[in-house]
A and B are shown apart, each in its own frame.
Chain A
Amino acid sequence: DIVLTQSPATLSLSPGERATLSCRASQSVSSYLAWYQQKPGQAPRLLIYDASNRATGIPARFSGSGSGTDFTLTISSLEPEDFAVYYCQQRSNWPPRVTFGQGTRLEIK
């Protein structure tokens, strides 16, 4: 099974700074990778799919890049509401499977 490893586990930044979150797959997932944001007590929210496509209503400060095994979620200028946990997720159609990374906690410095 494909394993997704996110780094760092925790990222401490200030509002206005740029955030760069990493997700590495144990084998190639092509571009079949998504990013989710989850705030305490809330369900996850889809940010990015197919590595670089923003979901509906997601602000332009969120961008995704990468293919194969190395992926990045970038938040260009952090807003107070961006401090949350972020998960990457890969999808495969054979065998049909979904795998999540362990998450990166983005906290206010």
Chain B
Amino acid sequence: EVQLLESGGGLVQPGGSLRLSCVASGFTFSNYALSWVRQAPGKGLEWVSTISGSGGSTNYADSVKGRFTISRDNSKNTLYLQVNSLRAEDTAVYYCAKDLIAAANYYYFYMDVWGKGTTVTVSS
């Protein structure tokens, strides 16, 4: 069974940092681009970042560029999101999601498997 399991969320003060992780199983990890998508309380979905299967290419939403860093360790089947300089508006559930189609160096940006999410709360 294809699964994604996020961890690393928590309560952090404004300006603080966290590292979110997403462990994958059930598919050939390095063949698929992976994304982080977040959802603020009671709000809609917001794309955050995507990394190619090889890890050689990354993309970010303007709202997080320069503060968040996506990375992956294909030997550990794990996706990461380093979140720095956190703001109240970064409070959200952060989901990791897998691309629909296998392509080591390309993004399809359609997400067919999602984790259950990890909650980040930024508050003093």
Q: What distance in Å separates the Cβ of B41 from its nearest Cβ neighbour in chain A?
A: 12
A97 contacts the other chain (CB 8 A): yes
CB distance from A82 to the nearest CB of B (A): 19
**Contact yes or no, B47 A46, CB < 8 A:** no
Q: Are B112 and A101 in contact (CB under 8 A)?
A: no
Give chain B's interface residues, CB within 8 Å of chain A.
35, 37, 44-47, 50, 59, 61-62, 95, 97, 100, 107-112, 114-117
Complex-state Cα separation, A55 to B98, whole angstroms: 14
Nearest-Cβ distance from residue A14 to partner chain B, whole angstroms = 25
B107 touches A100 (CB 8 A): no
Q: How many Å lie between the Cα of A60 and that of B48 in the bound state?
A: 31
**Contacts A49-B100, A55-B100, A103-B44 given; does A98 touch B114 at CB 8 Å:** no
Q: How far is the CA of A87 from the CA of B110 in the complex (A)?
A: 13
Q: 1/0 per residue A6-42: CB within 8 Å of B?
A: 0000000000000000000000000000101010000
Partner of A46, one of B45, B46, B107, B111: B111
With contacts A46-B111, A55-B100, A91-B110 known, is A96 near B59, CB below 8 A? yes
- Check A44/B100 contact, CB under 8 A, given A55-B112, A96-B107: no
- The answer, among A43, A49, A97, for a CB contact under 8 Å with B59, is A97
State in angstroms the CA–CA spacing of A56 and B110 once bound together.
Answer: 13
B108 CB to nearest A CB, Å: 7
Across-interface contacts of B111 in A (CB, < 8 A): 44, 46
24 inter-chain pairs at a CB distance below 8 angstroms, sorted by A residue, are: A1-B62, A43-B97, A44-B95, A46-B100, A46-B110, A46-B112, A49-B110, A55-B112, A56-B112, A87-B44, A87-B45, A89-B45, A89-B109, A91-B107, A91-B109, A95-B59, A96-B107, A98-B35, A100-B44, A100-B45, A100-B46, A101-B44, A103-B44, A103-B45
